[in-house]
Amino acid sequence: MKKADILVLDFGSQYTQLIARRLREQGVYAEILPFNVSLEEIKQKQPKGLILSGGPASVYANDAYFCDKGVFELNLPILGICYGMQLMAHHFGANVAPAGHKEYGKATIDIQNDSALFKNLPKKQTVWMSHSDRVENLPQGFEAIAISENSPFCVFGDEKRKFYALQFHPEVQHSEFGKNILKNFAKYACNCDSVWNMGSFAKTQAQKIQEEVGKDKVLCAVSGGVDSSVVAALLASAIKDQVVVVFVDNGLLRSGEKEQVEYMFKHTLGINLISIDAKEIFLSRLKGIVDPEQKRKIIGNTFIEIFEEEAKKHQDVKYLAQGTLYTDIIESSVVGASKTIKSHHNVGGLPEKMNLKLIEPLKEIFKDEVRALGIELGLNKDVVYRHPFPGPGLAIRIMGEVNEPSLKLLRKADVILIEELKSSGWYDKTWQAFCVLLNVQSVGVMGDNRTYDNAVCVRVVNASDGMTATFSHLPYELLENISRRIINEVDGINRVVYDISSKPPATIEWE
């Protein structure tokens, strides 16, 4: 089992993944486990410290989440954040109750006593609150470290046992010195060295793959996107001739996608590629399906079915490798107490029983880390920094039933959007850009004639890892060019709208 410097126990906070990210940015390897993980598994990971995340519950409620009480007896430094703070207070006998008023947003804390957490940091700083409960009194053996306007125990700790508790969220960018606080916890409380990087990650994963696979072969599923391309490169570097790389054309690709993928693997990556035409089976199974979750599950099951059939054609193929990221796992609610946002076809969309064993070497990292890994493995920047494209493809960018006429409209609109972004220099300034066919008709006028055609939504966002995103503030002139070209050049579309929602509360994709 892979060791971790710091383990983060997830109690369902929307920010949990950011805790691990901030620590990794400091060169400290952090891993997230469910709040109810066993003590034995924690011990096997041999961590130097634990962090208890925030969460939506209240420690005094019937639906409260509790970790094994033994975590407080492991003789490890522990940092409790928000719900984790209240859990620690509750465990050691303090009272936790509803606050006089909810506290969301920026607050100022004043540091009253010296602590390893705030070493070399200002005594007054801005932090980000997100809670409706508060600790009423200090648990025995702890002392107040910092106060805020609404809490005399905004931060408390026991320096001897290296137990610390924060009411605010240091992991979010709005907490002025939050990453420094987490770094101090790792460095001064847990004695962690800043040695983790993508080079060490690549070596660890390559060794792990070699040990797991042995002399067997791995079927590597690729889509042409950065995630699966990086997995293919990693496998090729680790087990070379034991990899069978397979690309499936599911009929849900963008215009020219199949040709681009085949060229990239053959000429850019130098990897042999098996290409399978499965358009007919995917579209037939999606006929009449309008529910997004059902679409995803059908696509996931069909992919696995095709991969398993292909595996039978090759001797000793016992594994299936795919480019699952940590964001996929979180949104599919596979870890912790988080809620299901959407089932990713390669996680929540998989069938319960599979003949091939899964290998997912990227499942513990995020998109920006995958890109750094791609560069580490020597991939071309054009491959590494290509915009993300979802595994279910255009099926989740068509509202309602997926069919050939809708796919045709969407592909044409999408080509225009990407052309305009690239020619204006905005493609490389954005994280992801695509069109959504709304299947909503509206009245228009072209020349002297009335039209009653489809509306398309343009979605362009900025992000770093896909967990949060803001809409891109494209120039009005560029938006006008995109709209004009789509309406003029794509028969059947007479209206273009621009999506200005952020994630959260929206997701990046519409389905």
Whole-angstrom distance, CA of residue 204 vs CA of residue 194: 16
Query: Is residue 445 marked as binding?
Result: no
Average pLDDT of the segment spanning 258-275: 87
Share of the chain above pLDDT 70, in %: 93
Catalytic residue (one of 91, 169, 344, 345): 169
Mean model confidence pLDDT for the chain: 89
pLDDT bucket at 342, cuts 50 / 70 / 90: very low
Active site residue 82: yes
- 267 catalytic per annotation: no
pLDDT score of 103: 64
- Kindly write down the DSSP assignment for every residue of 34-45, as one continuous string: ETT--HHHHHHH
Which of 359, 353, 365, 272 has its CA nearest to residue 321?
A: 359
Token pair in block for residue 407: 């796919």
What integer pLDDT is reported at residue 2 of this predicted model? 67
223 known ligand binder: yes
- Residue 442 annotated as part of some ligand binding site: no
- Over residues 20-54, the pLDDT tens digits come to 989 998 999 998 999 999 999 999 999 999 999 99
Q: What confidence tens digit (pLDDT) does each residue in 422-455 have? A: 999 999 999 999 999 999 989 988 776 788 899 9
Confirm or deny that 502 is annotated as ligand binding. no
Please tell me whether 229 is known to bind a ligand. Answer: yes
Burial class (CB in 10 A: 0-12, 13-18, 19+), 313: exposed
Confidence of residue 337 (pLDDT cuts 50, 70, 90): low
Per-residue pLDDT averaged across 134-148, rounded? 88
Closest C-alpha to 51, from 17, 27, 26, 1: 17
Spatial distance between the Cα atoms of 238 and 234, rounded to a whole number of angstroms: 6
In single-letter form, the type of residue at position 391 comes to G
For residues 326 and 163, the model is more confident at 163
Q: Which has more pLDDT, 130 or 333?
A: 130
End-to-end CA, the chain = 36
User: Which one has a higher pLDDT value, 105 or 191?
Assistant: 191
pLDDT tens digits, one per residue of 81-139: 999 999 999 999 888 877 766 666 788 899 999 899 999 999 999 998 876 777 888 99
pLDDT at 375 over 80: yes
Q: Is 224 annotated as a binding residue?
A: yes
Higher per-residue confidence, 240 vs 47? 47
Highest mean pLDDT, choosing among 277-291, 297-311, 451-465: 277-291
The one catalytic residue in 82, 154, 190, 435 is: 82
Give yes or no for a cis peptide into 98 (omega within 30° of 0): no
Q: Pick the closest to residue 163 from 83, 71, 32 (CA basis).
A: 71
Instruction: List the one residue out of 96, 68, 63 whose CA is nearest residue 82.
Output: 96
Q: How confident is the model at residue 353 (pLDDT cuts 50, 70, 90)?
A: low
**Per-residue pLDDT for 332 more than 60?**
no
Q: How far apart are CA 95 and CA 497, in angstroms?
A: 51
Concerning whether 364 is annotated as a catalytic residue, the answer is no
Is residue 487 pLDDT above 90, yes or no?
yes
Confidence at residue 324, expressed as pLDDT on a 0 to 100 scale: 86
Amino acid code (one letter) for 468: T
* Residue listed under structure tokens 């700083």: 125
Selected catalytic residue, list 67, 90, 154, 171: 171
pLDDT score, position 354: 73
pLDDT band for 343, please (50, 70, 90 cuts).
very low
pTM of structure = 0.70
pLDDT at 147 over 60: yes
